[in-house]
Chains A and B, each alone.
Chain A
C-alpha cells in the first residue's frame, strides 16, 4: 500500500518514453491518472482513519529491514497536498505551449518529482530522505530549464549550484551522525543525539543550513526568486506550491519531531530565521514589479510563518505549522495558477503593463482574490485560521515579540497582495489589453478547485482541526518516549 505511493508515479514516469513511441496522445492521461489516484487513495485512507477509528492511525510498512516506510497524520496531510498540487499542475500543463515531442519527457519529470516527494514523506531514515530529496531536486533542475530559454537556464543553474552546496553539507551531516550513532533511522538518531557533544551540534548546524537553503529561508533564498520566475508557468506552480515545501519545510518538521526534539537551541534559531524570512520576504515582495517574483518573495515570507509556528515548540504551534503548510500549498499554487493564466492571456507579468483584467477574466480575477485573502489571513478563509493558530501558539509559548512580528508581517502581506490586485485585476483596463479573453477551462478549473478548497477548509475549520490536524499531535506522543 505504502510502496504504491513511490512505485505508481515512478512506473508512470517509466512508461512515458514507451508511450511516446506508440501512443503519444495517451501521455496526457497518465500523469492525470496517477495524481488523481494519489488524491483518492490518500483521501480514502484519511476517511477510513477518521470514520472508522475516530482519528488517523499510524500505518507502517517495512521491507526486509532495509527500507522502512511509515504513514502518519503528518505525512497524510503532505501526501494530500502533493496529490492536489501536482494534479492542478498537470491540468494546467495540458494547454501549456510546450514542444509536443518533449511533452512526454516533461510529464515523466513531473512524475519523478512526485515520486521523490512521496518517498520523502514516507521515509523513516535520514539517508533515504536524502536520496529522495535528490530525486526531487534533479527533476526540478531540469523542469526549470525545460524551455531552453536563457532565464530558465540561469534560474536552474543557480538553484542547482546552491542546492549542491546544501546537499554536500547534508550528506556530511548524515555521515557524521552515522559515525556517532551507528544508524541513520530516525529512532537511532534520536537516541544518539541525546548524548550531545560538539559533533552532534555541528551536524545539526549542517542539516539546518541544508534544509533552510532548500526551503528558501533568508538569507539562503538567493536562488528562489530566480528559479520561480524563470521556470515555465506550470513548473512554477509545482515548485512553489509543493516541491520546496516538501524538500525544505516538511523535512524540517519531520526531523524536528523525530530527531532533534524541541530543544531550545534549535528552536530559537528556527524562530529567529523564521521571523527574519517572514518580515524581509514580505518587504521584498512589496517592491516587486513582476507577478511571479512577488509571489516568490511571498513564499519566502510564508515559509517563515510555518517555521515560526514549528519553533513555538507546542502542540498548538505544530498544528498551526502543519495547517499553514497545507494552506500554503493550496493558496500559493492558486496564485501561481492565476499568474500563469494572466501570462497565457496577456503574454506579460509586468505590473506596469497589466491592469483591469478582472473584467475580462472573471474566473481568474475572482479566484485570485480568494487566494490573496487567504494568504493575507482574512477570515473565514483557511489562511486566517492557520495564521491565527500560529500567532496564538507563539503568544502562549511566551514569544510575544514574535507574535507581534507575525501580525505585522501579515499586514504587509495584505498590503503587497492588494498592490498586486490593484495593478493586475482592478481598475481600468490597460491600453492594448482590450482584446484578451478568459483562459480555457482546463486552466481555470484548477484555480476554481483550489479556491474551493481554501474556502471550505476555512469554513469547516473546526472539523479540519478536530479530525485532520489534532491527530498530528499524536506524533508528539512519540517524541515523549
Chain B
C-alpha cells in the first residue's frame, strides 16, 4: 500500500499535468482548481508517508540501470517540502495567472515539474535521478517561455546554462559508474583522488548549476523579469534550491569523502557566490530582480555550510535551505502581489504601499527580517549555525567566516532599501490607490511568513524533527560522536547585532545622502573601483552565457561551412549517385521470362555451390 502511495506521489502529477496540457478547456478557473486539488492531494500523500522507509527496485534497462526509488529520512524531507511549496504556489497562481496569456499550459507544466522534482528526490539510482533531473530542465524551459515576449530568449539561456551543467553531471555519473561500479546512490562511497576528484567536480557542477550558484546563475535575474512570477517563487526560490542543495549534500556527504582541498573549493564557491551576488543585489532597482540576486547569494550560504564538513555547518546549511525556500518564496509572492495590483515592480514607481497593501507589507517584513538574519526569525538561526560552522573549521579558514558575515551585512542593507523603497517611501500623489491582493494570493504568503516565525522561535522542532532524521545516515560517516544540534546566544549573537547595526547605519547614511529609500545603496554604487565593476556587470561582461555567445560566432561560421559541405553531399552528390544507380532498374524490364531466367540461373549457382562444397 505504501509502495503504491510512493508511486502515486509522482505518477499523479505527471498524468494530471499531461492531461491539463492536452485537454482544451475554456473555463477560466477549472484548470487552477484541478491543479490545486491535485497539489493538495499530493501534500496529503506525502504527509501520510512521513516517517516510513520504503525501497522500490524494478529491473529497467539492465546493466545496473534499475528503477530504484528510496524513501527515507532525507528524501522524505525534500519530497514533503516540494509538495507543500507546489501546493502553495498553485493556490497562488489560480488568481495570479487567470488572465495571463498561455495560462492554460502553465498548470500543466507546474504539475509536470512537481512530478519530475519528486522523482529526482526519490531516485536511488543515478540514471533514474538523471532522467527526472533532465525532465526538470525541459519543464523549466517551458515554464520560463510562457512569460513575456522576451521570455523565449531567457528560456533558451536557462536551457543552455542548466543543460551544460547537467552535461557535466552526466559525465560525472559516467565516471562514478566506472569507478564505483554501481549506480545505486546508497552504495556509492568514493574518495576524491585522481579520476574520482574529476567525478566529484563534475557532479558538483551539476548540483550547483541546478541550485543556481555562480557562475551558473545568470539566467535567474533575466527570468525574474521575463518569466511568469509564480515560476520564480516555485523553481529558483524553492524547488531548485531544494534539489540542488540536496544533491550537493548527497555528493559531499554520501558519495565522496572529501579532502581538505576539495572542501576549500566547495567553500570558495559558496563564499564567492555570497559576496558577488549580494553586491549585485544591493544596486538593483527592480523588486523581482533584486530578489533573484538574493536567491543566488543565499545558495552560497548553503554550499558554504555543507562544505565546512562540520556537523553544525552541515545542519545549518540544510536548515538554511528550507528556510530560504520559505522566505524567498514568500518574498517572490509579495512581489507578485505588488505586481498584480500595481502593474509594475520597478522600485522607482513604487512607494507607500504599506497603507494600501498592509498584509503584503507584513508578510514582506517578516520574510525580509528572516533573510536578513534578524532574531528570532528562522534565517537568523540557520545563519548563526553556518557562522559557527565556518568558525569551527579553525583559524586558517577565518576568511569564509568573514565572507559570510559580509554577505549578511549587505543582505540586511539591501532589504532595508527594498522595503523602504517599495512600502514606506513617499507616494507619488498621482499614482492611483490600490487594494490588497485576492485571498488566494495572500494565504500562501501568510502561511509562509508564519512558518518563518515558527521555524525561528521553535527552531528545535524542525532541527530535531526533520533534519536529524534526514541526516542520521550521512552524518555517521562525518563524525562518530553524537550530533549536537544546539546553538547558543554566545559571541555570535553579538555578531548578528553588530551586522544589523551596521546595516541600519549604512541605510541611514544612504538615505540622508539621496533623500530616497531607493538611493540608500547609491553611495556604495559610487565607490571608486566598485563603480567600474558594476558598469561592466551591467554590460553583461561577467555573464559566461553572453561571452560564450560572442565567442560562439566563430564556431558558427565554421559550422556554416560544414553545413554547406553536408548540403552539397546530400543535394548534389547523392541525387547524382542516385540517378546513376536508378539506371540499374532498367534491368527490371517486367518480362516474366527474364525474371524466371534469373531465378533459374540462381538455382544453378546454388546447386553448383552445394555440389562443390559437399564433403567428399
Contacts and interface: CB of A to CB of B under 8 A. Distances in A.
Interface of A: 154, 157-158, 161-162, 165, 169, 196-198, 201-202, 204-205, 208-209, 212-213, 219-220, 222-223, 225-226, 265, 269, 283-284, 286-288, 415-416, 419, 462-463, 465-466
Given A284-B585, A415-B574, A223 B61 contact: no
B60 A462 contact: yes
Nearest to A169: B603
A279 to B, nearest CB: 11
Given A205-B603, A205-B606, A225-B588, A287 B583 contact: yes
A75 B531 CA distance: 79
B604 to A, nearest CB: 10
Contacts of A269: 606, 609-610
B22 interface: no
B599 A162 contact: yes
Contacts of B598: 219-220, 222
Which 6 A-B residue pairings sit nearest by Cβ, starting from the closest? A222-B595, A287-B582, A205-B610, A201-B610, A219-B598, A462-B62
Contacts of B607: 202, 205
B585 A287 contact: yes
B396 interface: no
B603 A209 contact: yes
B614 A201 contact: yes
Q: Is the interface of A mostly helix, strand, loop or mixed?
A: helix
Contacts of B60: 462
B602 A165 contact: no
Q: Is the interface of B mostly helix, strand, loop or mixed?
A: helix
Contacts of A204: 610
Contacts of A225: 588
Interface in B184-224: none
5 contacts: A201-B613, A205-B607, A208-B606, A222-B594, A287-B582
Contacts of B27: none
Interface string B60-81: 1110000000000000000000
B565 interface: no
Contact of A287 (B62, B578, B596): B578
A422 B574 CA distance: 13
B599 A219 contact: yes
B614 A158 contact: no
B615 interface: yes
Contacts of B606: 205, 208-209, 269
B602 to A, nearest CB: 5
B394 interface: no
B527 interface: no
B578 A419 contact: yes
A286 B592 contact: no
B602 A220 contact: yes
A208 B599 CA distance: 12
Contacts of A201: 610-611, 613-614
A448 to B, nearest CB: 15
Interface residues of B, number: 33
Interface in B85-139: none
Contact of A161 (B62, B596, B603): B596
Contacts of B579: 287
Given A154-B590, A169-B603, A222-B588, 20 more contacts: A162-B592, A162-B599, A165-B599, A198-B614, A201-B610, A201-B613, A202-B607, A205-B609, A209-B603, A219-B602, A220-B599, A222-B592, A222-B594, A222-B596, A283-B581, A286-B581, A287-B578, A287-B582, A287-B583, A462-B61
Contacts of A465: 62
Given A198-B611, A265-B613, A466-B62, A161 B585 contact: no
B584 to A, nearest CB: 6
Nearest to B60: A462
A158 B606 CA distance: 22
B65 to A, nearest CB: 8
B601 interface: yes
Contacts of A286: 577-578, 581-582
A386 B157 CA distance: 38
Contact of B596 (A162, A209, A463): A162
B553 to A, nearest CB: 30
A162 B613 contact: no
Nearest to A418: B570
Given A222-B599, A284-B585, A287-B583, A158 B611 contact: no
B612 to A, nearest CB: 9
B592 A158 contact: yes
B595 A223 contact: yes
A348 to B, nearest CB: 19
A161 B593 CA distance: 10
Nearest to A283: B581
B610 A287 contact: no
Contact of A212 (B59, B574, B600, B602): B602
Contacts of A287: 578-579, 581-585
Nearest to A200: B614
A450 B588 CA distance: 32
Contacts of A466: 59, 62
A265 B602 contact: no
Contacts of A202: 607, 610-611
Contacts of A283: 581, 584
Contacts of A157: 592
Contacts of B613: 201, 265
A92 B287 CA distance: 61
Contacts of A219: 598-599, 601-602
B590 to A, nearest CB: 7
A161 B601 CA distance: 16
Nearest to A467: B59
Given A205-B603, A220-B598, A286-B578, A161 B614 contact: no
Contacts of B614: 196-198, 201
Nearest to A293: B585
A205 B604 CA distance: 9
A419 B578 CA distance: 10
B590 A226 contact: yes
A212 B603 CA distance: 10
B183 to A, nearest CB: 15
